[in-house]
Amino acid sequence: MCGHHFFVRQPGQVYSPEEDKREYVRVRVQCLLTFTGKDIKGHGQLIDLSLRGCGMETDTVPLRGQVVQLTLRMPDGRNPLDIEAAVVRYVQGSRVGVEFLRIAEKPEAELRDFVQERLRQQSR
């Protein structure tokens, strides 16, 4: 059992940033993604991203606990990012949250650069 904690937002509830218990800050992102796993293949819209996970919306909803591979079609002409393994941590209707389990060194560095750049933009 992993020691990571994930926060699932409840519909109709209003949250302040202090109540978000995520370990890593998420940034808003709108781009397409694809995913594959055992007996599942789909695509969706990335809605937020952190160094260790992301939130997406999809019509092809994987099961909680399912391991998938992701390809994130990054904005601004950046190269797609391949996430070798991610586990589905929550499902709420068409919204899915995943935790990244394994990322190659180069995509991880590109992800880190992207998130840090977005955080700087958001703080202006």
CATH value of 26-122 in 3.40.1190.20, 3.40.50.300, 2.40.50.140, 2.40.10.220: 2.40.10.220
Q: How confident is the model at residue 124 (pLDDT cuts 50, 70, 90)?
A: confident
17 to 10, 43, 50: CA distances (angstroms)? 15, 29, 15
E-assigned strand segments in the chain: 27-37, 40-49, 53-58, 67-72, 81-92, 95-102
Average pLDDT over residues 77-85: 95
Which position has the higher pLDDT, 39 or 21? 39
Rounded-to-integer distance, Cα 50 and Cα 8, Å: 15
| Residue at 90: amino acid letter | Y
Rounded-to-integer distance, Cα 49 and Cα 40, Å: 22
pLDDT > 80? residue 20: no
pLDDT > 60? residue 119: yes
pLDDT 10s digits, 28-60: 999 999 999 999 999 999 999 999 999 999 999
Contact status, residue 94 vs residue 58, Cβ threshold 8 Å: yes
Average pLDDT over residues 12-37: 72
SS3 category, 34: strand
> Which residues have C-beta within 8 Å of that of residue 70, sequence separation ≥ 6?
33, 34, 35, 54, 82, 83, 86, 98
**For the whole model, what pTM was predicted?**
0.79
